[in-house]
Structure 1
Amino acid sequence: MPASTSSFADIPVASSPVRGAWLVVGLLWGVGCLNYLDRVMLTTMRDSIKAAVPMGDDDFGMLTTAFLVVYGLLSPVGGWFADRFSRRRVILLSLVVWSLVTWATSYVQTFHQLLATRVLMGVSEACYIPAALAMIADYHQAESRSFATGIHMSGLYAGMALGGMGGWVAEHHGWSSSFFIFGCIGVCYGLLLFKFLKDAPSPHAAGTVQIREPVMTTARALFSTPAMWIIALQWGALSFAGWAFVTWMPTFLKDHFHLTQTYAGFTATIYMQVAAFAGVLAGGAWADRWSRTQLRARAWVPMTALLLAAPLVLLTAHTTLLWVAVIGLIAFGFGRGCLDANMMPILCQVAQPQHRATGYGLLNLMGCLVGGGSAYLGGWLQEAKLDLSWLITGAAALVLVAACLLAFVKPLRRG
Structure 2
Amino acid sequence: KYTLKTLSMEPIGIPPNNSQQHLMRDCDTMDVVPNLNPIKDRSSENQGVTPRQWLTVAILCFVNLINYMDRYTIAGILKEISDYYRIGDDKAGLLQTAFVLSYMLFAPVFGYLGDRYSRRYIMAFGVFLWSLTTLLGSFMTEYHWFLAFRTLVGIGEASYSTIAPTIISDLFADDTRSKMLSLFYFAIPVGSGLGYIVGSETSRMANAWQWGLRVTPVLGAVAVLLIFFLLVDPPRGESDGNTAMESTTWKEDIKALLKNKSFMLSTGGFTCVAFVTGALAWWGPRFIDYGQQIQAGTSNKDVNSSVSFKFGVIAMISGLIGVPLGSYLATRLRARNPKIDPLLCAIGLFLSTPFIFMALIFARTNTIAVYILIFIGEIALNLNWAIVADMLLYVVTPNRRSTAEAFQILVSHALGDAGSPYLVGVISEALKHKYAPGSPDVAVPIEVEYKSLQDGLFSTCFVEVLGGVFFLLTSFYIVKDRAAADTEISGSEITVAPTHMFADDPQLNCSEANLTTA
TM-score (norm 2): 0.74
1:212 and 1:137 mapped to 2: Cα distance? Answer: 17
Q: 2:514 matched to which residue of 1?
A: none
In the alignment, which of 87, 97, 101 is matched to residue 69 of structure 1? 101
Q: Does 1:105 align with 2:137?
A: yes
Q: 2:27 matched to which residue of 1?
A: none
1:59 and 1:138 mapped to 2: Cα distance? Answer: 41
Q: Which stretch has the larger CA shift, 150-159 or 208-217?
A: 208-217
Q: 1:311 matched to which residue of 2?
A: 354
2:81 and 2:308 mapped to 1: Cα distance? Answer: 14
Please report how far the alpha carbon of residue 153 of structure 1 lies from its aligned counterpart in structure 2 after TM superposition.
1.2
Q: Which has the larger radius of gyration?
A: 2
Please report how far the alpha carbon of residue 290 of structure 1 lies from its aligned counterpart in structure 2 after TM superposition.
2.0
8 A Cα contact 1:231 1:405, kept in partner: yes
- Aligned residue type for 1:21: Q
What is the DSSP-based 3-state SS (H/G/I as helix, E as strand, rest coil) of the residue aligned with 2:238?
Answer: coil
Please report how far the alpha carbon of residue 205 of structure 1 lies from its aligned counterpart in structure 2 after TM superposition.
5.2
Q: For residues 374-413 of structure 1, what are the structure 2 equivalents within 5 Å?
A: 374-384=420-430, 385=432, 387-409=452-474, 410-411=477-478, 412-413=481-482
| Structure 2, unaligned runs of 5 or more | 2-36, 294-299, 433-450, 487-518
Q: 2:390 matched to which residue of 1?
A: 345
Please report how far the alpha carbon of residue 96 of structure 1 lies from its aligned counterpart in structure 2 after TM superposition.
1.4
Q: 2:71 matched to which residue of 1?
A: 39
1:369 and 1:177 mapped to 2: Cα distance? Answer: 30
Please report how far the alpha carbon of residue 198 of structure 1 lies from its aligned counterpart in structure 2 after TM superposition.
1.1
Q: For residues 58-137 of structure 1, what are the structure 2 equivalents within 5 Å?
A: 58-137=90-169
Please report how far the alpha carbon of residue 272 of structure 1 lies from its aligned counterpart in structure 2 after TM superposition.
2.7
How many pairs align?
408
Please report how far the alpha carbon of residue 365 of structure 1 lies from its aligned counterpart in structure 2 after TM superposition.
1.1
1:252 and 1:215 mapped to 2: Cα distance? Answer: 43
Please report how far the alpha carbon of residue 181 of structure 1 lies from its aligned counterpart in structure 2 after TM superposition.
2.8
Please report how far the alpha carbon of residue 356 of structure 1 lies from its aligned counterpart in structure 2 after TM superposition.
1.3
Q: Does 1:282 align with 2:325?
A: yes
What is the DSSP-based 3-state SS (H/G/I as helix, E as strand, rest coil) of the residue aligned with 2:58?
Answer: helix
In the alignment, which of 175, 196, 202 is matched to residue 169 of structure 1? 202
Please report how far the alpha carbon of residue 346 of structure 1 lies from its aligned counterpart in structure 2 after TM superposition.
0.6
Please report how far the alpha carbon of residue 87 of structure 1 lies from its aligned counterpart in structure 2 after TM superposition.
2.1
Q: Does 1:245 align with 2:280?
A: yes
2:91 and 2:262 mapped to 1: Cα distance? Answer: 37
Tell me the alpha carbon deviations over residues 212-250 of structure 1, each in whole angstroms, 9 at most, x when there is no partner: 444343111111122222112111112111110111111
| Structure 1, unaligned runs of 5 or more | 2-8
8 A Cα contact 1:305 1:335, kept in partner: yes
What is the DSSP-based 3-state SS (H/G/I as helix, E as strand, rest coil) of the residue aligned with 2:419?
Answer: helix
Tell me the alpha carbon deviations over residues 278-322 of structure 1, each in whole angstroms, 9 at most, x when there is no partner: 111121122122223432222222222222111111111212322
In the alignment, which of 405, 410, 416 is matched to residue 365 of structure 1? 410
1:60 and 1:231 mapped to 2: Cα distance? Answer: 30
TM-score (norm 1): 0.91
Q: For residues 165-244 of structure 1, what are the structure 2 equivalents within 5 Å?
A: 165=197, 166-173=199-206, 174-201=208-235, 204=238, 212-244=247-279
Shift of the 203–153 alpha-carbon distance from structure 1 to 2, 3 Å rule, reads closer
When the two chains are superposed, the root-mean-square deviation of aligned CA atoms in Å is: 2.3
Q: 2:304 matched to which residue of 1?
A: 261
- Aligned residue type for 1:275: S
8 A Cα contact 2:425 2:453, kept in partner: no
What is the DSSP-based 3-state SS (H/G/I as helix, E as strand, rest coil) of the residue aligned with 1:405?
Answer: helix
1:361 and 1:328 mapped to 2: Cα distance? Answer: 33
2:428 and 2:355 mapped to 1: Cα distance? Answer: 24
Identity %: 24
8 A Cα contact 1:32 1:152, kept in partner: yes
2:401 and 2:256 mapped to 1: Cα distance? Answer: 11
